[in-house]
Structure 1
Amino acid sequence: MVSLASTHRATDVVVPGAGGRSLKRKNPDNSSDAENTPASQIKRRRVAFNPDVDVRILSDEHAKSLELVHEEVRRAVEKHAVGEKAAYDMLKGLFREDPRTSSAPLTSLLQKYLTALANHVHLLDYSCKGLVHAIIDCSWVARNDSFVRRYRSFLHSLLSIQSGYMSTVLQSLVGMFLKAPSINARQRDDPPIERPRVEARVHECLRSILRHNSMASTFLAPSLASTFPYPDDDAKTHVQYIRNVLKVSEYCPELKGQIFSLVTDKLVKIDVQIQVDMEELEDDIEERLVGDAINEAEDDDSDNESASSEESLDPEEQRLKDIRQAVSKLDTIMDLLFKYYDTIFAQDRFEADELFESLLAQFASTILPTYRSRHTQFLLFHFSQTSAVRTEQFAGACSHVAFDQHRPHVLRVTAAAYLGSFIARGAHVSPDTVRAVFDLLCHHLEIQRATHESGCKSPDLRRYGTYYAISQALLYLFCFRWRDLIVTPDGLPPTDQDIVYQEGDFKWYNSTQEIIRRNIFSKLNPLKICAPTIVTQFARMAHHLRFLYVYPLIETNKRVRLARSLASGYLDGVGGRETALNAKKGENAFLLDAYFPFDPYVLPKSKKWLERDYNSWKPVPGMPVEKEEDGDEDEDEEEGSDSEQDAGADDDEVHDDLGEGSTETSL
């Protein structure tokens, strides 16, 4: 055995002594020395170097050299190409193995295979997709920093040569936004890791891919949309995903607008579904659901409900529970968006203007066309009031749609409702803006009246829908902002004392009073078509403020019978299709809905963002309280006792339902 001879020679070499001994005497190749070597020693050497012993499995993972792993990987891929799959399947198994199992390779060994595969990515074409998918989906994010860097390096190499895997890689990373990887998915040679660090690693990897591949964002947008949680997923899943995609928008600015629009679109769908589900509920049940949502908001443990309790619920109780959880989910998401957007607006930089432009675009494309949206639009309501310029921008966006004759009829009606509701309810809307919008509405109302009055035979919602929408917006706006329409000598709004002790008529801004009178008593008769709750409240306030006296007309309108004009359907393009304007029974089908998008916001957790922005309805000082006709003696007694108190405070209690009950789909 040559190797044994060489080894023995190396160990037995000595330096010649002074006695002149020859090195030859110590040479183990000498036949006589070999013969004198004990047989047991020769046997031990033969066993230690027996060529039949398999030394491929090593106890020390570092003993497997990188060169050996390179050769292993190369041979496995090449043999796979000719149909031999054993070594190839072994490679796949290494990456598919759960790192928490005893048979899983250590991270340091797996890193060597990852390094070797990075040097052979040119071989990982479509025929090797099984191996590539196993690598992409392996448990990498909770391992040590060195392995994570090597994993990112492999992805860069792979995508630079095999770009066909781009969608798979991005889908895998985005999927972690929906379901976070376990922090325990690591080997014993990996240090412990915290959950925030796991999330940060996913974003670092995605950011790195976006930076190195110019086309990556094109593939990322569809992945973000397709992975978004389903509407019936829980609040925790939605919040986790939305928080992550908003973070993506920070380092992928080219997708920022699409990400904001995606979140708004999904939020509107949840909002609308809640309104549909609650449509058939009684008022007391709605109040109970809101109360439950408040309790859950305080609790913040609504996700930890036992499965056993669900099994014992009957279908109706289960339905109410589902609605309550949906309300809580919507509330949590709204609070998240308010908080995220507020940090951007607080910086008062270019990003704030860019974000507001995105919100306006979302309003025009998603929120405005959705009739049953109840809460999502309050994002616009809040951030439009962060500056006077943004207030005018939002009011301009609403008026542009409301007065555009080329827009669909239903869209113009809804835009008018948004405009009137925003100006009426916005606490930071200046008196000058109120007057400017009131002037604008009056101007277009006069144009509509001049156009249609000559051919009008009777009030007709479907034929003159835009006219009635503008009329109702004016009536609603008057009920909330009448004080800003009164002209005083000092130019300041009148005080409560000025209202109570005014002897003569008030002086009203511009020609407001005359325009409203001319239209109310026209053939178009808007008080017959507008929502009765708004008409009644306007009549009381207008009479008390000596603005107009319309009670005789209201009594006359009670005897007017409305009928649908069969020829008017073509005007709005809706034909016989059921819409928000005609999905009612009886004469109500010919009346305008009391729909004002910014009626009181009731979601308990996110409501705090609107407390200083919202203008609640306040009664006119000195206006008598009108009792509601009700057979309930207790309510009568309560109202009677209240009437003895201060008139202003009492009115605030009794008539606050102008806002609370004016939206058909209100919570």
Structure 2
Amino acid sequence: RYVPSTSRFLMPILSDKFPFVQKSSRTLECYMHNLLRVSVYIPDLRRDIIELIISKMLTLDVSAPRSEIEEVESGAQQDANGASQDDCLFDMDEEEDSPLDSSRPDGAVMVHPVAERLDMMMTVLLAYIKDICHVNGSLDIEKTKALYRDLVSVFDKVVLPTHASCHVQYYMFYLCSFRLGLAEAFLDHLWKMLHAPNQPPVLRQAAAGYMGSFMARAKFLTVSTVKACLDLLVPWLHLYINSQDSGSKAFCDVNLHGSFYTACQAVFYTLIFRHNAILEGNMKKGLAYLQGLNLERIVMCQLNPLRVCLPAVTNMFAAITSSGKLIEPIYQVWEEPSDCMIHVPKKKVRKGSMEEEDDFLHGGTPHGDSVVGMTPGSYDSHLHSPRSVGSPPVSFLQRPF
């Protein structure tokens, strides 16, 4: 307000002064919290600030594979249960942050140092999203829409092109959980990117992966929304097959047909988790819908999607469609009395590489059981309260989601 050019010169300074990602969790927390406060009293910088924060979080995310984090946390759990001390894999860089004595509301600190920093940053970001979108405990639609536009823009710019991100993308899942309309808008956004021929193939494939994961794992999505998305994806697959059947490129090739294969995998993955919901209530109507998808044509086409899709997805899709018979029509299995109530196998699929994980939700939520809410007014533009400076305290109200 007093220096109109602030937005031009401040952002480079904020970026240059961002602490190195290997600094302590407390240092990152304080800086991140104050950055988000800046976004409140200088709204023009909000998108750039969020982009800066998420870029730093992605740096942490891709540097710590999920398998590595799970191995370290598992070893620490064994030690806590009295297992051999030889199983300890890492020592915390910051001695004052004891993994057994946390000041967090949930009392949990991750042993893996990178995972702990990322977990803390995710907690602050999600709390910021909640505080911006809610006023006096009620969802403010206009503020939520404005924040959604900023977050989607950042998602397209930095998250979508990033390979092997496990956790950061969860912020979009959390925001969309506030209102079904947001989730539908996000799915529509991903769909438009998938079938836009002017988009780079890698982004189209990433969009399909996120779309499938979101439909499969977001419990707040209604069956009608999932079916509406399938009604977009499946006809597009059939049209793609039609366009290739008589051509010279009608053979299995990831480089040529990458978008087709990722869209197939999105459909298969969605049905793995949603087939029961589609059949519930009206079995006859659900079966008729599944028959209308004509999945056997997709499976048996010359492009051979089952050969390209991830083995974990292929195996589970086979289990819920044809009891191991990969190309048998889906409806024939459910017509058999012994298999009419078939469920997704409870046996865990073998662990694979990062490419075999869920694109959107394989990282899960932050380690805490709830999203920490910021103190009332902690992002207010006024600076009179000493509690408005620095990172937030850790003893305020939790709001489970």
> What TM-score bracket applies, with the shorter chain setting the length?
0.7 to 0.9
Structure 1 counterpart of 2:37, which letter?
A: K
Name the SS for the 1:509 alignment partner: helix
Let me know the Cα RMSD of the aligned residues.
3.3
Superposition TM-score, scaled by structure 2 size: 0.72
1:444 aligns with 2:223: no
Cα contact 2:230–2:267 (8 A) shared by 1: yes
Match of 1:472 among 265, 288, 298: 265
2:287 is the counterpart of 1:507: yes
- Structure 1 residues 339, 282: CA separation in 2 closer, same or farther (over 3 Å shift)? closer
What is the CA deviation profile of residues 224-278 of structure 1, one whole-angstrom value per residue up to 9, with x for unaligned ones? 1111111111111100001111111111112122112111111111111122xx6
Query: Deviation per CA, 1:156-179, whole angstroms, max 9, x where unpaired?
Result: xxxxxxxxxxxxxxxxxxxxxxxx
Taking the aligned partners of 1:517 and 1:370, their CA distance within structure 2 comes to: 33
Is it true that 1:608 corresponds to 2:370 in the alignment?
yes
Residue deviations 1:396-430, cap 9 Å, x none? 12111111111111111111010000011001101
1:485 to 266, 273, 278: 278
Q: 2:77, 2:210 → 1: CA distance?
A: 24
2:317 — aligned with what?
538
Query: 1:384 aligned to 164, 176, 191, which one?
Result: 176
Q: Is 2:34 the partner of 1:261?
A: no
Alignment of 1:14-93 (within 5 A): none
- Return the alpha-carbon distance in structure 1 between the equivalents of residues 298 and 233 of structure 2: 12
> Aligned pair in 2 of structure 1 residues 479, 290: CA closer, same or farther (>3 Å)?
farther
| SS of corresponding position for 2:57 | helix
Q: 2:362 aligns with which of 584, 596, 599?
A: 599
* Alpha-carbon distance change, 258 to 282 in structure 1, aligned in 2, over 3 angstroms: closer
Closer, same or farther: CA 536–368 of 1 in aligned 2, 3 Å = same
- Please state how far the C-alpha of 1:331 moved relative to its aligned partner: 0.5
Alignment of 1:55-454 (within 5 A): 211-275=1-65, 281=68, 284-285=71-72, 287-288=74-75, 304-305=94-95, 324-347=112-135, 348-349=139-140, 350-454=142-246
Report the CA distance between 1:546 and its aligned residue. Answer: 11
| Structure 1 residue runs of 4 or more that deviate by more than 4 Å after TM superposition | 281-286, 289-293, 544-548, 592-595
**Equivalent residue, structure 2, for 1:624:** none
**1:430-484 C-alpha deviation (Å, 9 max, x unpaired):** 1111000011110111121112233345322222111111111111000001134
Matched with 2:281 is 494
1:219 partner letter: F
CA, structure 1 residues 227+532, in 2 after alignment: closer, same or farther (shift >3 Å)? same
2:305 to 526, 534, 558: 526
SS of match in other structure, 1:379: helix
Summarize deviations over 1:113-171 as a string: whole Å, max 9, x none.
xxxxxxxxxxxxxxxxxxxxxxxxxxxxxxxxxxxxxxxxxxxxxxxxxxxxxxxxxxx
Q: 1:323 to 1:285 in 2, by over 3 A?
A: closer
CA displacement 1:101-122 (0-9 Å, x = unmatched) = xxxxxxxxxxxxxxxxxxxxxx
Amino acid at match of 1:352: T
Point out the structure with max Rg over C-alpha. Answer: 1
Q: Report what 1:147 is aligned to.
A: none
- Deviation string for 1:359-397 (max 9, x for gaps)? 111111011110111111101001112112101111012
Mapped to 1, the partners of 2:19 and 2:69 lie a distance apart of 30
C-alpha change, 1:290 and 1:533, in structure 2 (3 Å) is farther
CA–CA distance in structure 2, aligned partners of residues 341 and 506 of structure 1: 37
Amino acid at match of 1:327: A
Contact 1:506–1:546 under 8 Å retained in 2: no
- Could you report, residue by residue, the CA deviation over 1:578-606 in whole angstroms, capped at 9, with x for unpaired residues? xxxxxxxxxx99xx85552212516422x
User: Any unmatched runs of 5+ in structure 1?
Assistant: 1-210, 294-301, 308-321, 487-492, 499-503, 552-587, 611-667
Q: 1:265 to 1:506 in 2, by over 3 A?
A: closer
Q: How far apart, CA to CA, are the structure 2 residues paired with 1:306 and 1:609?
A: 24
Q: Quick one: distance in 1 between partners of 2:133 and 2:329? A: 45
Give the number of equivalent residue pairs. 323
In the TM superposition, residue 518 of structure 1 has moved relative to its aligned partner by: 0.8
Find the residue that maps to 2:256 and give its secondary structure.
coil
Give the percent of matched residue pairs that are identical in Structure 1 and Structure 2: 26
Q: In structure 2, do the counterparts of structure 1 residues 291 and 602 end up closer, same or farther at CA, with 3 Å as the change threshold?
A: farther
CA contact (8 A) 2:7 2:45 kept: yes
1:549 deviates by 2.3
Q: Is the 8 A contact 2:244 2:250 kept in 1?
A: no
Q: Specify which structure has the bigger relative contact order, considering alpha-carbon pairs within 8 angstroms and separated by 6 or more residues.
A: 2
Q: CA deviation at 1:351?
A: 2.0
Secondary structure of 2:255's match?
A: coil
Question: How far apart in 2 are the matches of 1:290 and 1:380?
Answer: 30
Q: Give, as a single letter, the amino acid of the residue that structure 1 aligns with 2:185.
A: Q
Distance 1:547 1:391, change over 3 A: farther
Q: Provide Cα deviations, 1:179-224, integer angstroms capped at 9, x if missing partner.
A: xxxxxxxxxxxxxxxxxxxxxxxxxxxxxxxx32221232111111
Q: TM-score, normalised by structure 1?
A: 0.45
Change in Cα spacing, 1:379 to 1:238, as seen in structure 2 (3 Å) is same
Q: Does the 8 Å CA contact 2:310/2:356 hold for their aligned counterparts?
A: yes
> Is the contact between residue 483 and residue 494 of structure 1 (CA under 8 Å) also seen in structure 2?
no
Deviations 1:302-328 (A, max 9, x none): 675179xxxxxxxxxxxxxx9811111
Structure 1 partner of 2:346? none
C-alpha separation in 1, matches of 2:27 and 2:281: 51
| 3-state SS of 1:212 partner | coil
